[in-house]
Amino acid sequence: MIAQQVVLFEVAGVVCALDRAAVRELLPIPRLWRPPATPSTVAGILDLGGVAVPVLRLNRLLGLEGREADEDVYRHLILVDGAVPDLAVALLVDRVHDVVKPESAVAAPGHVSLNGCVIGEIALGGGLIHLVAVDRILMAAEQQGIAELGQAAASRLAEWRGAGG
């Protein structure tokens, strides 16, 4: 259960961690395209080298109050695999702090968080930090909706690439 390394980040004033193995890349926040009628948990779509990547507001998914200024240049994106099958998504967080090796970890009871996404607590620097499982952040219906949104955005990007050349 204890991860070899974790990515420490802050969302709505709460420090959390993700297993480093689930994290593909850490990015500064760029301008995002937000299609009309998308749910409030979706911050927008990132064009990452021609690939449409849905960006999710992690504070809203975790039920935490936090700032909503999507253009805030000091926020970060965590590009992850496993939140939606066969689709990379990015998590919008307030700040990525570090990549570290946890000192120890304990399992969390399944009822601690929605969908059981908080799978444990890791000891670090004398405190405990929530360890979040990427594959449990979204419920099945949300995964399907994000996959459909990603497909629609990919089609739109493909049309623009075809029109330019």
Residues 145, 39: contact at Cβ < 8 Å? yes
Domain presence at residue 129: yes
Domain presence at residue 47: yes
Spatial distance between the Cα atoms of 122 and 66, rounded to a whole number of angstroms: 23
- Quickly list DSSP for 1-30: ---SSEEEEEETTEEEEEEGGGEEEEEE--
Per-residue pLDDT of the chain (165 residues; tens, 9 = 90+): 566 899 999 999 899 999 999 999 999 888 888 888 889 899 999 999 889 999 999 999 888 876 665 556 678 999 999 999 989 999 999 999 999 998 887 776 655 566 688 888 888 888 889 899 999 999 899 999 999 998 988 898 888 777 554
- For residue 54, the model assigns a pLDDT of 95
Domain presence at residue 109: yes
Q: Which residues span the domain enclosing 150?
A: 6-164
Domain total in the chain: 1
Domain presence at residue 1: no
Q: Identify the CATH number of the domain in which residue 130 sits.
A: 2.40.50.180
pTM for this prediction:
0.86
Domain presence at residue 113: yes
